[in-house]
Amino acid sequence: MATNRYITLQSGSGGAVYRFRVLADEFVVLRERSGKVGLTITGKVDQQSGPVLNRYQVTLKVYDQDPEAASGFGNIGDLRSLLALTTPPANKLVMGLPTGQTIRVYVDARSVEKNITYMLDGPQACYRVGVEFVEVVP
Structural domains in the chain?
A: 6-137 (2.40.30)
Strand partners, 45: 39
Contact in structure between 20 and 62 (CB atoms under 8 Å): yes
pTM for the predicted model, two decimal places: 0.87
* Count of other CB atoms within 10 angstroms of residue 112: 11
CA 121 to chain centre: 23
Q: Predicted confidence band at 47 (pLDDT cuts at 50, 70, 90)?
A: confident
Q: Which pLDDT value is given to residue 2?
A: 57
Q: Which pLDDT value is given to residue 3?
A: 85
| Cα separation of the two ends of the chain | 24
Is the preceding omega at residue 89 within 30 degrees of 0, hence cis? yes
Kindly report, residue by residue over 4-34, the tens digit of the pLDDT: 999 999 999 999 999 999 998 789 999 998 8
Distance between CA atoms of residues 14 and 16, nearest Å:
7
Q: Which pLDDT value is given to residue 132?
A: 96
Kindly report, residue by residue over 80-137, the tens digit of the pLDDT: 999 999 999 999 999 999 999 999 999 997 899 999 998 888 889 999 999 999 999 9
Q: Which pLDDT value is given to residue 64?
A: 95
In a 13 Å sphere around the CA of 59, the CA atoms on its Cβ side amount to 11
